[in-house]
Structure 1
């Protein structure tokens, strides 16, 4: 569609990615997510790649959150596979506000549940722990190093091909 200058409806694209993931069509979901990232459907990851902090908007589905976590883990694979005792932990901030409007308290609580669901549907499961609340009243989680190592050990062959950006 983009090559033919047809406008892309990001809401429908996000719904498609979520539906594909919920139906276990992960290859297609990942492919569409990666394309959507490059088209600006999601917040840019350039600032987050190879950084130990991932910001996830509260409006994402659990599938989109999981895919963002996968990109984050692959980008930080070297830090995860050779952890240094003095290095900071991998952190995830569940962003409360979108660019255009605030996120209501009830919606944010539901987003926290989606974040936890995203970690559970990962294969193998990821362990995400609530660490603190920042000054913007956003939940800050830590990604357990051991569960991230296990995820990398089982998935790095395909994940590097899918998520490493050329």
Structure 2
């Protein structure tokens, strides 16, 4: 399947704009920082990625390899269509590096052994952990962060409860 970056009102579009001009600038700066420090952009060829719409906050999806833990894309919250791939020596190094951040919104673990991935996910300091995927959170599960990403909850009943203001009435009938 060939993804299309463009107007979200177009039924052929799978990737729309990011939330703001500032957000687009931050995402691009994270990608530039990674490439300047040795990462490689291996995003498959795609006309809509090469030539995004001129108006709007469009950032093409980017697949980076050869990233390291000194790059902003691995330490900061990029909040954009960027997948940085970093090889690690073992599971211990993976968990240590994943937890070496002031943020903890979302993490992803890619493995042939889902049971081992689940075990590792228990140790990752993030509110949402994907295993062998990193596309979108299930509306049935809470999407929340830990550390400096833990500012609320969306989705699931826990997300709904963020918008509910509780009030209790304790009433006793007045004697007649």
Q: Do these two structures clear the TM 0.5 threshold for a shared fold by scoring above it?
A: no
Answer with 1 or 2: which has the greater Rg: 2
Q: Normalising by the residue count of structure 1, what TM-score does the alignment of the two structures yield?
A: 0.29
Q: Normalising by the residue count of structure 2, what TM-score does the alignment of the two structures yield?
A: 0.28
Instruction: State the structure with bigger RCO (CA 8 A, min sep 6), 1 or 2.
Output: 1
Higher helix share: 1
